[in-house]
Amino acid sequence: MTDVARLAGVSHQTVSRVLNGHPNVREQTRNRVRAAISELGYRPNRAAKALVTGRSQVLGVVAQNSTLYGPASLLVAFENAAAEAGFTVSVGNVSVLDRHSIGRAVEQHLDQRVAGIVVIAPVASANEALDHLPADVPLVTIDGDPARPAALVTVDQAAGARDATKFLLDAGHSTVWHVSGPSDWFDAIGRIEGWRAALTEAGAEIPPVMAADWTAASGYRAGQMLARMPDVTAVFAANDHLALGILRAMSERGRRVPEDVSVVGFDDVPEAAYFIPPLTTIRPDFEAVARTTLGMLLGQIESGSSTSTRHTIAPELVVRDSVASPGQR
């Protein structure tokens, strides 16, 4: 603010009045201050101002406009955690998670003078945008790149996949096939890593990954191929919707689940307990992710400094009726 005042030839109090929209500033002076702000690229510390004035109890979230269960559940969980702490949440929905869309959504949040921002960034295309955001903005990423040095909270995807795969191996299956999510999603990458690690640790054969997206239709197509392979006795699906498609494909080909083929999913969607058979799956703790994210964000707001701390939240194996020993036929 002092630099802006010096360049504009005014006092820092005048700069403050311009920033706050105070009416008692001449238009010529106001324009001179705005020109100096633009030339210097000055951004007010909105987080500090929110704490001093107590006027901002709003947190901004940037998220892709999606009905996918994981991202949608994370958003709802964060809104609930924020509400319990006395904050409201302003959500900036974007059609794609790229530099332009995320940057624009963040700028809109900053124009609203939010106290801090959360970006739900599960895809690789978000990285460039995050690298170019203003450094003085309190910001935490959910589900982002685990290799990126920034404040991050995420479900431990690899641990969940490892648990799912190990559960199938412990049931007596010689190996486990995997139907994956999209290759540009960090969730999918982590689940592949966990699946492969469990097979390697067990000395089991590692089958090729069956690439898919997150939909039941994609799972159905992969399931049709797997159902034609008599040596396939266990499948780990990267999410429950993929598992649902696999279950239908197996049924249509006369492959019984779990008697002939065991299936494990990931996410524990509300419908998973009502699949036929009820689906064994991995349950992420979205509420814990949200609470941890909120705590990290408020810590940045209060301290006025950013952090590169990362937290991974362990998921839980939920055992139902879709897994059996390959000998139980």
* Lookup: tokens for 253: 């080909």
Residues 292 and 322 in one domain: no
Residues 109 and 167 in one domain: no
Say what percent of the chain tops pLDDT 70.
95
- CATH code at position 76: 3.40.50.2300
What's the mean pLDDT in 62-82?
94
Q: Is 99 helix (H, G, I), strand (E, B) or coil?
A: helix
* Residue range 195-238, pLDDT digits in tens: 999 999 999 999 999 999 999 999 999 999 999 999 999 999 99
Name the domain count of the chain: 3
Would you say residue 23 has pLDDT above 80? no
Residues 11 and 128 in one domain: no
Residues 214 and 322 in one domain: yes
Residues 229 and 263 in one domain: yes
267's CB contacts (< 8 A; 6+ apart) are 69, 70, 239, 240, 281, 282, 283, 284
Of 41-45, 108-112, 238-242, which one has max mean pLDDT? 238-242
Residues 253 and 267 in one domain: yes
Q: Distance between CA atoms of 191 and 177, rounded to whole angstroms? A: 12
pLDDT of 52 reads 54
Provide the pLDDT confidence category of residue 307 given band limits of 50, 70 and 90: confident
pLDDT of 242 reads 98
> What domain range is 147 assigned to?
52-155+286-314
* Residue range 153-210, pLDDT digits in tens: 999 999 999 999 999 999 999 999 999 999 999 999 999 999 999 999 999 999 999 9
Residues 273 and 175 in one domain: yes
* Residue range 117-159, pLDDT digits in tens: 999 999 999 998 898 888 888 999 999 999 888 999 999 999 9
Residues 123 and 186 in one domain: no
Q: Is the N-terminal amide bond of 208 cis, ω within 30° of 0? A: no
Q: How far, rounded to the nearest angstrom, does the alpha carbon of residue 181 sit from its chain's CA centroid?
A: 14
pLDDT of 77 reads 96
End-to-end CA distance of the chain: 75
Would you say residue 109 has pLDDT above 90? yes
Residues 150 and 56 in one domain: yes
Would you say residue 51 has pLDDT above 60? no
pLDDT of 72 reads 94
Residues 186 and 323 in one domain: yes
Q: Distance between CA atoms of 322 and 261, rounded to whole angstroms? A: 8
